[in-house]
């Protein structure tokens, strides 16, 4: 049952990562258009800046769970690799528990804020007068997904004999590591 849930969750995070990648592509296009319009015709579109800010929030919270699940995040591998597996597990369990708590609180508090934005019809005080709920609704969703991702990591640390080896393998899947045959 847990394996089925994990695979379904991996597919969901991958779909969100695709949306985040598409948003990055679109953002690069509208920023390029804005630069061209400003430099060639002197026509600036200030709402492009607001749209970019909102998009960065969405990209971060849609992509982060997939990045963490694939173990492609920034970490101090040189330190982790020299530690015994038992110490790696203790550190991994501790970090996972702390991250679960932090992400759960972030999801809860930003969810409450999002609910207030919606109930009170709070608008963004920017060029775009849109409801504040739209740019920031992804924060509690992404934080909840990060919470689930850290629970999955915690279970790997608890249940696997050498979870760091599995994380390393997942992070390098599909990438040339220098040890593969390049022919």
Higher per-residue pLDDT: 165 or 140: 140
Mean pLDDT across the stretch 64-91? 84
Q: Is the pLDDT of residue 80 over 80?
A: no
Exposed, middle or buried by CB within 10 Å (0-12, 13-18, 19+), for 82? exposed
Read off the pLDDT of each residue in 141-161 and give the average, rounded to a whole number.
94
Residue 178 lies inside a defined structural domain of this protein: no
pLDDT mean across residues, the chain: 87
Instruction: Say which residue the tokens 């022919």 belong to.
Output: 183
Is residue 160 in some structural domain?
Answer: yes
- pLDDT above 70: percentage of residues in the chain: 92
Residues 58, 23 contacting (CB under 8 angstroms): yes
Inside any domain, residue 182: no
Q: Specify if 65 maps to a domain.
A: yes
For 51-63, the pLDDT digits (tens) are 888 999 999 999 9
Please determine, for residue 99, whether its predicted confidence score (pLDDT) is greater than 50. yes
pLDDT at 138: 96
Checking if the pLDDT of 50 tops 90, the result is: no
Burial class (CB in 10 A: 0-12, 13-18, 19+), 164: buried
Residue 95 lies in a domain: yes
Whether the pLDDT of residue 162 is over 60: the answer is yes
Least confident of 26-30, 50-54, 90-94, 95-99: 50-54
pTM of the model: 0.85
What's the number of CA atoms in the CB half-sphere (13 Å) around residue 155? 11
The reported pLDDT for the residue numbered 177 is 46
- The residue segments making up the domain with residue 39 are 2-172
For the chain, what is the domain count? 1
133: its two tokens: 């709920």
Q: Examine residue 179 and state whether it is found in any structural domain, yes or no.
A: no
pLDDT of 174: 56
Flag the least confident range among 97-101, 159-163, 178-182: 178-182
Find all residues with CB under 8 Å of 130, minimum gap 6, and list them: 123, 124
Assess if residue 101 is contained within a domain: yes
Annotate 33-71 with b (16+ C-beta within 10 A) or e (fewer): ebeeeeeeeeeeeeebebbeebbeebbebbbbbbbbbbb
User: In angstroms, what is the C-alpha Rg of the chain?
Assistant: 20
């Amino acid at each position: 049952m847990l394996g089925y849930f994990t695979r379904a969750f991996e597919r969901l995070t991958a779909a969100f990562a695709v949306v985040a990648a598409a948003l990055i592509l679109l953002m690069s296009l509208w920023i390029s258009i804005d630069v061209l319009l400003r430099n060639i015709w002197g026509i600036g579109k200030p709402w492009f800046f607001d749209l970019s800010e909102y998009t960065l929030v969405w990209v971060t919270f849609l992509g982060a769970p997939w990045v963490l699940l694939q173990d492609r995040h920034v970490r101090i591998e040189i330190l982790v690799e020299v530690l015994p597996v038992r110490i790696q597990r203790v550190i991994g369990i501790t970090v996972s528990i702390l991250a679960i708590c932090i992400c759960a609180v972030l999801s809860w508090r930003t969810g409450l804020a999002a609910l207030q934005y919606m109930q009170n019809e709070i608008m963004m005080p920017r060029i775009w007068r849109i409801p504040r709920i739209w740019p920031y609704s992804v924060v509690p969703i992404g934080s909840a997904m990060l919470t689930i991702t850290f629970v999955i990591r915690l279970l790997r640390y608890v249940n696997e004999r050498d979870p760091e080896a599995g994380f390393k393998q997942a992070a390098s899947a599909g990438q040339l590591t220098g040890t593969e045959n390049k022919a």
